[in-house]
Amino acid sequence: MSLPPLVEPAAELTVDEVRRYSRHLIIPDVGMAGQKRLKNAKVLCVGAGGLGSPALLYLAAAGVGTLGVIDFDVVDESNLQRQVIHGQSDVGRPKAESAAASVREINPLIDVVVHNEVLTTENVMDIFARYDLIVDGTDNFATRYMVNDAAVLLGKPYVWGSIYRFDGQASVFWAEHGPCYRCLYPEPPPPGMVPSCAEGGVLGVLCASIGSIQVNEAIKLLTGIGEPLVGRLMIYDALEMTYRSVKVRKDPECVLCGKNPTVTELLEDYEAFCGAVSEEAQEAVSGSTITAAELKSWQDAGENIYVIDVREPNEYEIVSIPGAVLIPKGEFLNGSALERLPQDKKIVLHCKSGVRSAECLAVVKNAGFSDAVHLGGGVLSWIKTVDPSLPTY
């Protein structure tokens, strides 16, 4: 459905702006009026990572007059495979500052607002209130639900995107005209069910595909042209090179935007709402978590232990802890791994960061291996504290 323009047009375009945006101006649907609306728009991009990188670059190039970026992270070398707004010289630099510098290089005629901070329940409402439109480039469920809830409570539209390996999704959530994110996903997935990009990987160029779609939707909303993805979920398969659209209806019983909402303010703890790990895993790791230094001392002392890596084979090929045996998490979840566990050795589980091994530890303990433990921080902790010469990923 067509929607009215989100913002009013600016009074005028300067000569420099006319030159810069001339290819927009000669498009009848955009023209001077549309470009003036872009100039008058205030857009916040949540995250300067995989999706935020192309989104920020193209929002800046398009002439969005005020462009905000919020990110608390710093640039890591593993980011550069897909986060094209950053370069090698930016490694170690705050992402928000690095992104802002690139944006200013793309378009010095716009205003860039840097929010070098964590988006929390304490600041999200105040920050969002300053902008017309939110572009969501987050990579975890807790922040996604918080972004959605804040946008709905403030009456703001936002453009959502999601990426994983070769698959991408995008939609526009605007409770005044259609569904919100909770209408599509009323509850977060069970802990550990959906791997993050850090665990499962993502094709670098997929970020550009979905990020550019998000910018396209933002431009349509701001200028009032075309048919935005309100009430539709766009699904992209990069391997099959297919796009398909699925209708998403507004849920009249939605706890946030339905007829009788029960969520009328932000939740106190979105991390707890989404759950990093299951309750069983939390119970299992209590008193059964060791450090990398402890594991190294056990190995050096010749302790009777059996170290198991629960990551995927391709991760194991990148880097592994010496002596660790690979048994992927899936084999623990379906039970087939249990018959391979020695009865006369202490089981030590590890993954990349400690989340997957915690879930596996719950399975192992339930199977009777009461003295089993897992490595807090996973192989990343091993690299950091025991052998920094190993590669991280």
Percentage of the chain exceeding pLDDT 70: 98
Give the lowest-confidence range in 63-67, 214-218, 267-271, 303-307. Answer: 267-271
pTM to 2 decimal places = 0.83
Question: Active-site residue among 197, 254, 274, 360?
Answer: 197
- Reply yes or no on whether 257 is catalytic: no
Question: Active-site residue among 45, 183, 207, 351?
Answer: 351
Among the listed residues 356, 363, 365, 340, the one whose alpha carbon sits nearest the alpha carbon of residue 288: 365
**Mean pLDDT on 171-176:** 97
- Reply yes or no on whether 351 is catalytic: yes
- Residue 189's pLDDT is 84
Q: Which domains does the chain have, with CATH numbers?
A: 15-274 (3.40.50.720), 279-385 (3.40.250.10)
**Mean pLDDT on 137-159:** 96
List pLDDT tens digits, range 226-248: 999 999 999 999 999 999 999 99
